[in-house]
């Protein structure tokens, strides 16, 4: 090797070492100011509630406030897109759900971001079973009664969801497909708004997160019939699954995940992941989450990335088979 090449190689090695040291120092100093947690849904939605519960313990662990920033719109795409284009400096994170992180890549031809390329996984935070509920005006008290009513009245009923392509939308579309029934889909900005629509009679049924459904069911304002999970939920032991009720191929569970903009320093991503997992295990956090019908998880970034890939493979044929479009 010539002296010139030797000098060039040495300088390159020094530059790389300096960069690595700078990144490590940046991660050690992080965070120096409040951190923004973007929730791409309205206040009062399930991810919003989850974020605010976790934030209390998470802020204490990292030593800086965490600010929930609600950016609803386009079924979660608006806020998710904003995070995908945010500065990857460790001060902006996303807490989002199934659709904008996986399903919308199938539904939308021109999605303004790619969650698998423009975002990096941080942690799978929690899951919760959706609860299928009906308006009192339907006068049914079982899944069988609900399905029979739909079959007898094709096109008469409307159903609510938390957005086009959401798991609350896809779950009902699967029910319709399996039962050869028809109802008009009406999307809402949040689960609380969708539940209000059931109570007011604007829609007749929906499969929505229990944190919004169960308080109204307990108050007698609507009827909760079943959960959409594969097994009965320990948080809702009295509700049967759709599988138990004669729909064996129905499993549609909401999940919630933290993501960061691509390019966020890996050391920061890993630390945030560890702190989220630790916060989710705090007894007070567990109690509050379970009271709101969340099952806390807490995963590594690698595990979340693998899970998202599995979700894409599982739901892509379902979405393609049902022929869903964003405006359905």
Whether the predicted pLDDT of 42 surpasses 80: yes
Residue 266 pLDDT class (50, 70, 90 cuts): very high
Query: Tens digits of per-residue pLDDT, 58-81?
Result: 999 999 999 999 999 888 999 999
What domains appear along the chain, each with residue ranges and CATH number? Answer: 33-127+254-322 (3.40.190.150), 131-227 (3.40.190.10)
Helices (H) and strands (E) in the chain, counts: 12, 11
The stretch 297-306 carries a mean pLDDT of: 98
Banded model confidence at residue 177, pLDDT cuts 50, 70, 90: confident
CB 138 within 8 A of CB 162: no
Average pLDDT taken over every residue of the chain:
90
Residue reference for tokens 């560890």: 274
Confidence (pLDDT) at 327: 56
Instruction: Taking residues 129-140, report their average pLDDT.
Output: 96
Give the model's pLDDT for residue 321.
80
Model confidence, pTM: 0.84
Cα 70 to the center of its chain, rounded Å: 14
Q: What token pair was written down for 120? A: 């990096």
- pLDDT tens digit sequence for 192-211: 999 999 999 999 999 999 99
Give the whole-angstrom CA distance, residue 248 versus residue 261: 38
How many of the other CB atoms lie within 10 Å of CB of 6?
A: 10
Name which of 146, 174, 121, 61 is nearest 304 in CA terms: 121
Other residues' Cβ atoms within 10 Å of the Cβ of residue 319: 18
Q: In percent, how much of the chain has pLDDT > 90?
A: 74
In this prediction, residue 21 has a pLDDT band, given cuts at 50, 70 and 90, of very low
């Amino acid at each position: 090797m010539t002296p010139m090449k030797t000098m060039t190689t040495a300088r390159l090695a020094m530059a790389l070492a300096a960069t690595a040291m700078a990144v490590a120092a940046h991660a050690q100093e992080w965070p120096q100011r409040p951190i923004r947690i973007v929730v791409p849904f309205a206040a009062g939605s399930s991810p919003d509630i989850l974020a605010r519960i976790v934030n209390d313990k998470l802020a204490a662990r990292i030593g800086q406030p965490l600010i929930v920033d609600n950016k609803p719109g386009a079924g979660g795409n608006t806020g998710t897109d904003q995070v995908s284009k945010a500065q990857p400096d460790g001060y902006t994170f996303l807490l989002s759900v199934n659709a904008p992180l996986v399903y919308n890549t199938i539904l939308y031809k021109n999605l303004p971001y790619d969650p698998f390329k423009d975002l990096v996984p941080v942690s799978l935070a929690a899951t919760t079973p959706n609860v299928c509920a009906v308006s009192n005006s339907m006068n049914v008290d079982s899944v069988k009664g609900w399905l029979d009513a739909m079959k007898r009245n094709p096109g008469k009923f409307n159903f609510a969801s938390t957005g086009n392509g959401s798991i609350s939308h896809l779950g009902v579309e699967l029910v319709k497909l399996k039962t050869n029934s028809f109802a008009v889909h009406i999307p809402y900005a949040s689960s609380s708004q969708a539940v209000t629509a059931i109570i007011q009679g604007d829609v007749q049924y929906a499969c929505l997160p229990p944190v919004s459904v169960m308080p109204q069911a307990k108050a007698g304002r609507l009827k909760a019939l079943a959960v959409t999970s594969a097994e009965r939920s320990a948080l809702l032991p009295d509700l049967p699954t759709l599988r138990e009720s004669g729909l064996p191929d129905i499993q549609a569970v909401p999940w919630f995940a933290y993501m960061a903009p691509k390019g966020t320093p890996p050391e920061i991503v890993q630390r945030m992941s560890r702190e989220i997992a630790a916060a989710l295990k705090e007894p007070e956090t567990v109690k509050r989450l379970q009271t709101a019908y969340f099952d806390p998880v807490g995963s590594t970034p690698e595990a979340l990335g693998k899970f998202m890939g599995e979700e894409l493979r599982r739901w892509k044929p379902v979405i393609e088979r049902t022929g869903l479009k964003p405006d359905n």
